[in-house]
Every structure is written in C-alpha cells, then in structure tokens.
Amino acid sequence: MCGIIGAVGRGEDTLDVLVHGLSKLEYRGYDSAGVALASDSIDVCKKAGELDELRGSLEGRSISGSVGIGHTRWSTHGPPTDANAHPHQDCSGDVAVVHNGIIENYQELRDELASAGHTFRSDTDTEVVPHLVEDELRGGADPEAAVRAAVQRIEGSYAVAVVIAGVEQIFAARNDSPLVLGISDDAYYLASDVPAFRDHTDRVVYMGDEEFVTLAPAGWSVTTLAGDPIDKDVETVDWDPEETGKSGYDHYMLKEIHEQPRSLRQCLSERVDELAGTVDIADLADLNPRGVQFVACGTSYHAALYGAELFRQAGIPAQAFLASEYTTSPPPIGDALVIGVTQSGETADTLSALREAKRRGARTLGVTNVVGSTVARECDHVFYIRAGPEIGVAATKTFASQLAALNLLALGMAGSDEARDVIGALRDLPGQVQEVLDDSGARAVAETYLESDAYFFIGRGLNFPVALEGALKMKEITYKHAEGFAAGELKHGPLALVTDHTPVFAVVTGDGEQARKTIGNVKEVEARDAPVIAVTDGKSDVERYADHVLRVPDTHPRTAAVLANVQLQLVSYHTAAQLGRSIDKPRNLAKSVTVE
C-alpha cells in the first residue's frame, strides 16, 4: 500500500506538482516519501517520515527536470528508512522507479541480478526493477522496450512508473494495483488515485491490468505489455477538488463524521420512494439471489455482518466472511451471490476473494465508494454508496453509507414485510444523525474515561457489528486496547478482563428480547464494578444500570444501529483528540490496503 504520482509537461512546476500530489496521497501511506526528476540526469530526493520531512530536505536543494515521479510509502519489505524510500535507482543512477504493490518473485530476480554484478542499496522488492531496466538498456534496448522487458519479468501486484535520464517520458504499467492517468491540454499525469492530480484536470483514464502507458509531452498511449495498442476512454470525474479540504475542522475525521447527514442523503437520493414503498436499485433487483456471501475487511467487514443479517431477516441465507480468509479457505459457494464491500474498491484482500469466487463460477457484486475502482470494473455488478471522498484513515461516513446502501440492496433484492417503515426510517436518518451530532454527550464521556485500561463494546443482532466497529475505531485512532463482543459471549471468557478500569459501552436499542438479554449482560459487568455507558434510544430501562447515557433518536432498529455508531465514532474521536493522537494518520495504518 503506497501512493505513486508522475507528471509530464509541467516544465519548472514539475517538483511542486509532484509534492502537491503526494500530499493528496498521504492517506495511502506516510512512513517515507520521495521524488525523482529526469533531465539529462536523474535527481532523487527521498526521506523517511511524513511528507514534511521530504519538504524539509527539498528546501535549499536545486532539483529540477521536466518529467518526474514521486512516491509515498507504507512499508511492506524493509523498515521505513531513507534507503528503503522510493524512488529506487539502478547502479548507474540513470533509471529511477516508484512502485506500489508486491513483487512476488523479487528474491530470485535479486539473486540473479546480484550475481550479474548489480549492487543493491535497499531491502525493498522494488529495487529489482531499475536494475532489470539497466540490464536491458545495456543490452541495447531503447528506453520503452527496456521498461517493457523489465515489467514482463516481474510477477505479483504492481503499479510501477519509470523515468530514465535523457528521456522526456514516463513509462508505467499496472497489475492488481491502482493506476489512473490524468489528461489535460498540455500535460499528463499518472497516480494511484485521482485526488493526486485533480487540481490540474478532471479528465481521467483508468488503466486496466497488464496495461502499459507511455506519457510524453506530445501525448500518451496505452498498450498491452507486448505493445499492441489499446483504445481507452477518457472519462470526466465530477467531484470538486476542494472537497478534500478540511473546511475549518481540526481533523478530516471530525469533518467526515459531521458530513454523514449529507453523504447519507446522496446515498439515498432517487433510490427510495416512501409513498410507493419501493426502492430503485436498477437491474440489481433482478438478481434474485438464493444465498449471499459477503467478503470484506476491517470496517467494511462490520458493514458486511450487518448486511448479512438484513438478508437473513428476509429469509435468504447469508454470511459475512473476512476476505483474507475467504481467499485461502473458501466455503462452498453453491449458487450464492458474492458481494464484496470495499470503500476504496482497491482492497487487495477483497479483490482476491472476489476473484476466487468468480473463478469458481459465482456472480459477483461490488459495493464501493469509488467510481472506476478495480472492484467496480471487475465485478459483474456494482452498487455505489456515494459517500464522497473520505480522507481520514479511520472510516466513518463511508461506514454509515455502506449500512444505508446495504439496506437498499436487501430491500431491492429480497423485499421486506416492513419495506415502507424501513424506507421511512432511512429517509429520517440524515435528520436523526444531525440530531445526534447537535446534542451528543460523547465528548464528556470520552473525557471521563480517558485513563482507562481498556474499552469494551457489546451488542446483539444488528448492534453486534456496531460494537465491533466501535472497538475498531477506538483501537485505530487512540491506540488503546478495545474489543467488541456479541453481548452473550461476554460471560464465556472476556468477562475475566472486566474491572473497574474497563468501561463497557452497551448498545441497546428497542425493548425486545435482544434488549432484555443485553441488559442482563450489562448487569453482569456492573456487578464487576465496570463503568457502563449505554448507547440507547431510551425504549428499554438500560439507563437504570448505566453510569452514562448516550441517547439516539427513537427509530427503526436498522437505522438505530447507524445512529448508535455515530455516538461511538464521537467517543473515539474525542478520546484520541484528548490524548493528542495523530487522528487522520494513525501509526502503521493506511487508508486502503492494496497488498494482501
């Protein structure tokens, strides 16, 4: 998981364009960064640490060139050091390479190159590429042919971009890692993601697997790895580049939490008709699945657990699987529809699981936020959650929009006896999320329990994924120990961890059997002197057993789960803010994980 950027045709602005692009890609990794500019020679500057470290070391250095590439790294091979930062070079220093992905046969290539006399300076898999190119150049190949030959020798996942001294071009290729081109009138760009060059152009070309691109001041061309031309469509992206600003907030995460009413409206717009009691999910309504298997990771996995429960409520067998497990030990698929949930549409584990399902003949559906992403292109069907760009590494608004989107899918594919009520509740949701944001007491709760040893989250049914997500958010941004449990599991082990220094967040909505049983579990922890924070709509009497209450508006159980999650997002945010954590860029994490 890394971010790459390249630019041709920007003359003296090249360096600024690259550094600006990297700042927009920092969400993909931020443990080191670097740039390479090509003129008659190659100038490289790279530094361990966040982008500001690179900016610092660029100051006072004259580094110039009219073509350039850049990289922001999330370590897979070798620790984050200056040496392991990209770009990497060959022995002569005339070739520089940036790469996102994992080269699976790098050890054997490295051994071969080393025995042929090449000297390696880093621990990375990437460094084999410049040396391969160097070999080809030495053998008399022209620059483009040399890069093609090198790319054809590597196996695994890559988005790779190469510049060569004396050549005013960038050569790049992709396989299983994202790469998109930006096209403007007098300059061309490539990047892992659109925001990197969105300030310069809104016209983009999405690269497919095993495609090769040459960018030159005079134009661009996409070919197969072997060199056969491919016709590519130039698409226009419609979102505003500045949508990625913080609009007065200290952190993207808080901005995105507050954007949830708006992103939910976008998700639902023109897809629900409350008066008719119908949803419109276009041709997906005709899929008629006899069973559903969800595959997903992280926060999206929690959304998948929720989605599977919705399908089961409609009488359709459904399960959620961790994508990384599904790939290596897949269950029998039968005639199930396999639904991959991934915010970025680039999550490597989820893509692998979907490919495995496809290979075994299953129909696949991608639920994603990113138009044109790999999952959108590879699945048989796609459904967009329309949350808008999310920059904070901890997913917030996209989780809420995933839950809303899964409600639409379940209603549209499987129906419901209470469709009209659910649709009404969905249409009430944006206003109710706003109500939680206006009146939340989460900050005071966060301040009260700042010094706790650990945080536990419990819930049943649809509130079980909310408990898991609440704990994940807490882990991600506060670095505190946090766990989510199905409320009934507490007594089968985790109760041993409960003390008066471990607050327990109990998500209890409604007053049915699940609420009553969860309240029983609340009493169990209360008896161990653990502070209890009830996240509730006030329908049950859980407040009697709670030290603090975080209220959510009274609504349908399906949307109550979304509202409860907003309260937990705010608790994690305020805890992390009080602790002074790096909220938008937590240590060791990256926004979308494009390695397995």
The residues near 387 (Cβ < 8 Å, ≥ 6 apart) are: 263, 266, 267, 343, 369, 397, 398, 400, 401
Provide the 8-state DSSP code for 169: -
Residue 427: CB atoms within 10 A of its CB come to 16
2 catalytic, yes or no? Answer: yes
The span of 63-71, 268-276, 395-403, 581-589 binding another protein (CB under 8 A) equals 268-276
**Minimum gap (Å) between residue 506 Cβ and another protein:** 25
Specify the DSSP element, H or E, that contains 559.
helix 557-579
Beta-carbon-side half-sphere exposure of residue 481 (alpha carbons within 13 Å): 9
Among 203, 246, 355, 381, binds another protein (CB under 8 A): 246
Among 227, 245, 331, 334, binds another protein (CB under 8 A): 245
Asked whether position 543 contacts another protein by CB under 8 A, the answer is: no
Asked whether position 269 contacts another protein by CB under 8 A, the answer is: yes
SS3 of residue 157 by DSSP: strand
Asked whether position 250 contacts another protein by CB under 8 A, the answer is: no
Nearest residue to 128 (alpha-carbon basis) of 152, 154, 147, 161: 154
The span of 8-16, 240-248, 543-551, 569-577 binding another protein (CB under 8 A) equals 240-248
Active-site annotation holder among 2, 45, 267, 297: 2
Among 86, 258, 556, 585, binds another protein (CB under 8 A): 258
**Minimum gap (Å) between residue 237 Cβ and another protein:** 15
Active-site annotation holder among 24, 47, 585, 591: 591
Strand order in the sheet with 95-103: 88-89, 95-103, 156-164, 170-175, 211-216, 219-224
Burial class (CB in 10 A: 0-12, 13-18, 19+), 117: exposed
Asked whether position 249 contacts another protein by CB under 8 A, the answer is: yes
Nearest residue to 97 (alpha-carbon basis) of 38, 8, 179, 36: 36
Which of residues 248 and 332 has its CB atom nearest to another protein in the complex?
Answer: 248
Residue 302: CB atoms within 10 A of its CB come to 29
Among 228, 275, 329, 492, binds another protein (CB under 8 A): 275
591 catalytic, yes or no? Answer: yes
Asked whether position 430 contacts another protein by CB under 8 A, the answer is: yes
The span of 126-134, 285-293, 423-431, 500-508 binding another protein (CB under 8 A) equals 423-431
Asked whether position 265 contacts another protein by CB under 8 A, the answer is: yes
Count, residues near another protein per rule CB under 8 A: 30
**Minimum gap (Å) between residue 200 Cβ and another protein:** 15
Which of residues 17 and 436 has its CB atom nearest to another protein in the complex?
Answer: 436
Which of residues 118 and 200 has its CB atom nearest to another protein in the complex?
Answer: 200
Identify any residues that bridge with 459 across adjacent strands, giving them in sequence order: 486
The span of 111-119, 160-168, 204-212, 262-270 binding another protein (CB under 8 A) equals 262-270
**Minimum gap (Å) between residue 261 Cβ and another protein:** 8
Among 199, 435, 511, 541, binds another protein (CB under 8 A): 435
Residue 180 — φ and ψ, nearest 5°? Answer: -135, 145
- Which alpha helices (H) appear in 117-247, and where do they start and end? 128-138, 143-153
Nearest residue to 460 (alpha-carbon basis) of 294, 300, 305: 305
Among 145, 165, 333, 437, binds another protein (CB under 8 A): 437
Asked whether position 203 contacts another protein by CB under 8 A, the answer is: no
- In sequence order, what DSSP letters do the residues of 341-405 get, joined into one string? EESSS--HHHHHHHHHHHHTT-EEEEEESSTT-HHHHHSSEEEE-------SSS--HHHHHHHHH
Residue 311: CB atoms within 10 A of its CB come to 24
SS3 of residue 127 by DSSP: coil
Which of residues 244 and 502 has its CB atom nearest to another protein in the complex?
Answer: 244
Q: What amino acid positions are annotated as catalytic residues?
A: 2, 591
Binding site for another protein (CB under 8 A): 240, 242-249, 255, 258-259, 261-262, 265, 268-270, 273-275, 427-428, 430-432, 434-435, 437-438
